[in-house]
Structure 1
Amino acid sequence: MIIHQFYDTGLAHASYAIISQGKMAIIDPARNPQPYYDFCAEHGAELIAVIETHPHADFVSSHLEIHQQTGATIYVSKLVGAAYPHQTFDDGDCIDLGDISLKAVNTPGHSPDSICIIAEDEMSAHKVIFTGDTLFVGDVGRPDLRESAGNITAKKEELARQMYHSTREKLMTLPEDMIVYPAHGPGSLCGKNMSPDLHSTIGRELRENYALQLMDELTFVNLLTNDQPFVPRYFGFDVDLNKQGAAAFGDAVKAIPHVKPNELIDGILIIDIRFEKQFKHGHIRGSINLQNGDKFETWLGSIVNPEESFYLVAHNEAELNIVMEKTAKIGYEQNIKGVMLIPENGLQRSSDLDLDYFRRNPGDYTIVDIRNDNEVKDTPIFANAIHIPLPELRDRIAEIPTDKPIIVHCAAGYRSAAGSSIIAAETDLNAVYDLGEAIVSFVD
Structure 2
Amino acid sequence: MSPLPSSQPYRIHQFYDKGLAHASYAVLSDRQMAVIDPGRDPQPYYDFADEHDARIVAVIETHPHADFVSSHLEIARETGATIYVSELVRAAYPHQAFDEGSRISLGQIELHAINTPGHSPDSICVLLIDEFANTRAIFTGDTLFVGDVGRPDLREDEAVGGHKREELAGLMFDSTREKLMTLPGATKVYPAHGPGSLCGKTTSPDLDSTIGKELKTNYALQPMSREEFVRVLLEDQPFVPKYFGRDVQLNKQGAPAFEDSVRAVPRLLPGTELTPGVLVIDTRPAAQFRQGHLPGAVNLMDGGKFETWLGSIVGPREPFYLVADSQIGLDTVIRKAAKIGYETNIKGALLTPRELPATAPSVAVEQVRQHPEQFTIVDIRNRAEARQPLFEGALLIPLPELRERVQEIPHDKPVLIHCAGGYRSAAGASIVQAALPAGTPVYDLGEAVNEFQKQAVH
Q: TM-score range by the shorter chain?
A: over 0.9
In the other structure, the counterpart of 1:142 is: 151
Aligned residue for 1:396, secondary structure, equals helix
Instruction: Give the SS at the match of 1:376.
Output: helix
| Whole-Å separation in 1 of the counterparts to 2:327 and 2:347 | 17
Instruction: Determine if the alignment matches structure 1 residue 177 to structure 2 residue 186.
Output: yes
> How far apart in 2 are the matches of 1:119 and 1:206?
19
Taking a change above 3 Å as real, the CA distance of residues 397 and 228 of structure 1, as seen in their structure-2 partners, is same
| TM-score, reference length from structure 2 | 0.95
Kindly report the root-mean-square deviation, in angstroms, between the aligned alpha carbons of the 2 structures: 1.1
Matched, 1:289 2:308: no
Q: Distance in 1 between matches of 2:57 and 2:250?
A: 23
Alignment-mate amino acid for residue 344 of structure 1: R
CA shift, 1:149, in A, is 5.7
Change (3 A) 1:218 1:30: same
Residue type of the alignment partner of 1:171: L
> Residue 40 of structure 2 aligns to a residue in which SS?
coil
- 1:201 corresponds to 2:205: no
Shift of 1:345: 2.1
Q: In the TM superposition, what is the alpha-carbon distance from 1:126 to its structure 2 partner?
A: 5.8
2:226 is aligned with 1:217: yes
Written as runs of structure 1 = structure 2, the 5 A alignment for 1:45-444 is 45-125=54-134, 127-148=136-157, 152-259=161-268, 260-377=270-387, 379-430=388-439, 431-443=441-453, 444=456
> Per the alignment, in what secondary structure is the counterpart of residue 372 of structure 1?
coil
Deviates more, 1:140-149 or 1:346-355: 346-355
1:358 deviation in Å?
A: 2.5
Q: Deviations over 1:388-429 (max 9, x none)?
A: 000000000110011111000001100100000000111253
State the alpha-carbon separation in 2 of the partners of residues 138 and 239 from structure 1. Answer: 24
Q: 2 CA distance for matches of 1:207 and 1:356?
A: 48
Structure 2 match to 1:36: 45
Q: Matched residues in 2 for 1:140 and 1:436: separation?
A: 33
C-alpha distance after superposition, 1:217-268 (max 9, x if no partner): 0000000111100000000010000000000000000000012443200000
Partners of 2:234 and 2:135 lie apart in 1 by 35
**AA of the residue aligned to 1:330:** I
Q: Which segment drifts farther, 147-156 or 250-259?
A: 147-156
Q: Which amino acid aligns with 1:399?
A: E
Unaligned runs of 5+ in 1: none
Q: Secondary structure at the match of 1:371?
A: coil
Cα drift, residue 90 of structure 1: 0.1
Q: Percent identity?
A: 61
- CA–CA distance in 1 between the matches of 2:398 and 2:166? 25
Q: Does 1:26 align with 2:6?
A: no
SS in 2 for 1:193: coil
Q: Does the aligned pair in 2 maintain the 1:58–1:238 contact within 8 Å?
A: yes
Q: Distance in 2 between matches of 1:153 and 1:322?
A: 35
CA contact under 8 A between 2:127 and 2:135: conserved in structure 1? no
Q: How far, CA to CA, are the matches of 2:141 and 2:438 in structure 1?
A: 46
Q: Tell me, yes or no, if the aligned pair for 2:160 and 2:248 is still in contact at 8 Å.
A: no
State how far apart, in whole Å, the 1-side matches of 2:130 and 2:419 are: 50
Q: CA deviation at 1:357?
A: 2.3
Give the conservation status (yes or no) of the 8 Å contact 2:160–2:245.
Answer: no
What do the CA deviations read for 1:309-358 (whole angstroms, capped 9, x no partner)? 00000111110000000000000000000000111224322112222223
Contact kept, 8 Å, 1:175 with 1:203, in 2: the verdict is: yes
> 1:442 deviation in Å?
1.6
Q: Is the 8 A contact 2:423 2:446 kept in 1?
A: yes
Q: Distance in 1 between matches of 2:364 and 2:138?
A: 56
Q: Distance in 2 between matches of 1:426 and 1:398?
A: 8
- SS of the residue aligned with 2:15? strand
How many residue pairs are counted as aligned between the two chains? 443
Contact kept, 8 Å, 1:30 with 1:60, in 2: the verdict is yes
CA contact (8 A) 1:6 1:16 kept: yes
CA 1:429–1:352: 2 relative to 1, 3 Å: farther
Which one-letter code corresponds to 1:409 in the other structure? H
**Given residue 234 of structure 1, which amino acid in structure 2 is its aligned partner?**
Y
